Copies of this chain bind each other. A is one copy, B any other.
């Protein structure tokens, strides 16, 4: 059986690409803080984004620092960011509709039990 690498859900992908696009010169620790992930998971996701070809880890900070990479979105990464934003939006809108239904149902229940 082929091993299925745990793939990053849209929500995470969206937030990471958004953060990185706005601020490529950011450490994994800082990124993990801003997105609310553990350091280990951030590292894992970042590698996945790089392997997917959406992000490139170049080192340009202060005179070619070996560490302290800059995580820049590739052209593919930019279009993926746009795509995932749209997908994410549609998802949210679907959730929105479902919530509407659930709320009206809940209101009825709450009224009955009062």
Contact = CB atoms under 8 A, between A and B. Distances in A.
Interface of A: 18, 78, 81-82, 85-86, 88-89, 92-93, 95-96, 99-100, 102-103, 106-107, 109-110, 113-114
A49 B62 CA distance: 59
* Interface SS majority for chain A: helix
A12 to B, nearest CB: 15
Contacts of A106: 85, 88-89, 92
Contact of A103 (B93, B107, B109): B93
A18 to B, nearest CB: 8
A107 B86 CA distance: 8
24 contacts: A18-B109, A78-B113, A81-B113, A82-B110, A82-B113, A82-B114, A85-B106, A85-B109, A85-B110, A85-B113, A86-B110, A88-B106, A89-B103, A89-B106, A89-B110, A92-B99, A92-B103, A93-B103, A95-B99, A96-B96, A96-B99, A96-B100, A96-B103, A99-B99
